[in-house]
Chains A and B, each alone.
Chain A
């Protein structure tokens, strides 16, 4: 069993829809990251969280340390948001562990 589980694996939405991607982890962590990988392969770090909530533009990330769960929300989704979203955690041994990613397709 992967220590970092993401859901859903694939997600198709219509432009303008509100999107939620979930991440659950089973190890103790010092931080959780949300990454975005575009079709060309490039990776962008969206958020790093250790508690609470962060917002950047239309993106919101939350984390519940007690429940070992994080969510990434996209408001007013747009086709350019189409990408793979990866949850990654930094465990207490300083190792990074990655979820399998959620492939998001936003249709116009």
Chain B
């Protein structure tokens, strides 16, 4: 157990639907990062939050949004899902991005 918890582990949903992925960071880590790993695109950075505030934004689609709550857990919301959104979604946490990252085990999203 890395200390970063992601739920659910697997998710199958239909096109057009909306899902929420959840991440609980390692205790004491203030930063949460979201990544998408698809077969054709490799690992891509989506967005970072630090202590509740958005810190950096990568290749995140407008249909996707995220937030970090006061208890530091984070949620990634994916809406109007398309087949191409099928991927592994990873969350990682760090103290401040200074000491490396701890990754969660990922959520495998399948859009059918």
> A residues touching B (Cβ–Cβ < 8 Å)?
31, 33, 35, 41-45, 47-48, 86, 88, 90, 93-98, 100-101
Contact = CB atoms under 8 A, between A and B. Distances in A.
Interface residues on B, range: 20 to 34
A35 B44 CA distance: 13
A34 to B, nearest CB: 10
Interface of B: 2, 33, 35, 42-45, 48, 55-58, 88, 90, 92, 97, 99-103, 105-106, 108
A95 B100 contact: no
11 contacts: A33-B100, A35-B43, A41-B105, A43-B103, A44-B103, A94-B48, A94-B55, A95-B57, A96-B35, A98-B44, A100-B42
Contact of A90 (B57, B97, B99, B103): B97
Given A43-B90, A45-B103, 9 more contacts: A33-B100, A33-B101, A41-B105, A43-B103, A43-B106, A45-B102, A48-B99, A95-B57, A97-B45
